[in-house]
Amino acid sequence: MKLLMLTRYDRLGASSRVRSHLYLPWLKDAGIDATVSALFSDDYVSRLQRGQKRLSEIATAYPARLRALGEAKDFELIWIEKEALPWLPFWIEANLFPRDVPYVLDYDDAIFHYYDTHERRFVRAVLGGKIPALMRGAELVLAGNRYLGDFARRSGARRLEILPTVIDLQRYGEEALARRCDRAEPPLIGWIGQRATAPLLLPYRDLFARMSASGIARFAAVGIDAAAHGLSMESVPWTEETEVASVARFDIGIMPLVDKPFERGKCGYKLVQYMACGLPVVASPVGVNRQLVEHGVNGFLAETMEQWESSLRALLFDADLRRRMGQAGRRKVEREYCVQVTGPRFASLLMEAAGRRVDHDTFSKTH
């Protein structure tokens, strides 16, 4: 089967990396010949993380995407990350799809809220109904969590499947699980993310500073310049090659969120990464976090500042609790949140969307 994958980014874009590139070996084993066409390049993403955006790159991205859509008639199925042409109306995008090639939409963020909750009435009027209309026309909608799935159902999607955002267990092996509970330094509390989500840490700035000053904890942030945000955290550069080792240094992983519509659509990927490394977690009880974190089993859900402090302190002063919760989190990832579980299902769903007969024996290879 020939599949065209219209991703938002190349490998440097986290959403594209874990929702499409991660699955390429599994698609190949299932007999699916996937061609990946990214809207934005790695250079664009790299500059975006530095707070730079060049209109010239956007101007060249859209013509390239139009060319890809023009060639889509040669494929049996189109897989689209979120939407093909961001910020353009539905009628333009839909008229560019080949009429006899079905398409699949994939969502790991509530990007529809960029449009339907936009501060400008004109944007809401022109684009607010775009994503629901795309969902109604799709052969299949893949949603990373229930919040996104509920939106797709309300929009009239003809078929919906929940496919969580996952990790590859092969990358999170024995080295990632090696805890150093007997080391002399205070436990390391860590966060991984990007520039756009760094402000979520700011409400906890004083708590982190106070814990650091008292000598009971250290803090690290992977992927951002923490000092630029006024955070008393070690700044750790992110690369795809080093991200697992960087997270494995932590003793506790955190994921604060605000309870707002867009954040409710988050897929909790950083929590999955922490748990894959055998870490206990502390997270805000927002969206999919409630599903990933079993309070008191693999971590704590903390809403108020007092709850955040008490949860972190409980883990800081009890290495055995950290170990037990970390093991519970790792088991959950092995059961539900790894590509070894979702890979065969993803390939099977795409084959069905293309109208192909599914031979489940082709999904038996172990990666």
Comparing CA positions, the residue from 55, 46, 42, 51 lying closest to residue 16 is: 42
Least confidently predicted of 51-60, 236-245, 264-273:
51-60
Lowest mean pLDDT across 129-143, 173-187, 197-211, 319-333: 173-187
Q: What is the CATH number of domain 2-166+339-363?
A: 3.40.50.2000
Residue 366 has pLDDT above 60, yes or no: no
- Cβ neighbours of residue 42 closer than 8 Å, sequence gap 6 or more: 9, 10, 11, 12
> Please, are residues 229 and 202 in contact by the beta-carbon 8 Å criterion?
yes
Q: What is the mean pLDDT of the chain?
A: 93
Angle between helices 55-70 and 42-49 (to 10 degrees): 150
pLDDT in tens, 15-32: 999 999 999 999 999 999
pLDDT of 13 over the 70 cut: yes
Which pLDDT band holds residue 181 (cuts at 50, 70, 90)?
A: low
Q: Report pLDDT for 183.
A: 65
What string of DSSP letters covers 157-176? -SSEEE----B-TTTS-HHH
Strand arrangement, sheet containing 188-192:
234-236, 218-222, 188-192, 252-255, 281-283, 299-301
pTM for the whole structure? 0.93
Whether 2-166+339-363 shares its CATH topology with 174-336 is answered yes
Q: What stretch of H or E contains 107?
A: strand 103-107
Does residue 106 carry a pLDDT above 90?
A: yes
pLDDT reported for residue 59: 81
Q: What is the pLDDT of residues 43-95, one digit of tens each?
A: 887 777 776 666 677 788 999 999 999 999 999 999 999 999 999 999 999 99
17-28 residues labelled b (16+ CB within 10 A) or e (exposed): ebbbbbbeebbe
pLDDT band of residue 173 (cuts 50, 70, 90) is: confident
Residues 6+ apart with CB under 8 A from 172: 244, 273, 276, 277, 333
> What proportion of the chain, given as a percentage, has pLDDT over 90?
86
Q: How high is the pLDDT of residue 57?
A: 77
The β-bridge partners of 255 are 283
- Asked whether 276 and 302 are in contact (CB, 8 A), the reply is no
d(CA 65, CA 68): 5
Q: How far is CA 295 from CA 83, 200, 255, in A?
A: 35, 21, 14
Domain 174-336: give its CATH architecture: 3-Layer(aba) Sandwich (3.40)
Q: Which pLDDT belongs to residue 332?
A: 98
Domains of the chain by residue range = 2-166+339-363, 174-336
Which two structure tokens, joined as six digits, stand for 206? 């004083």
Q: What are the tokens at 31?
A: 């007999």
* The pLDDT of residue 292: 98
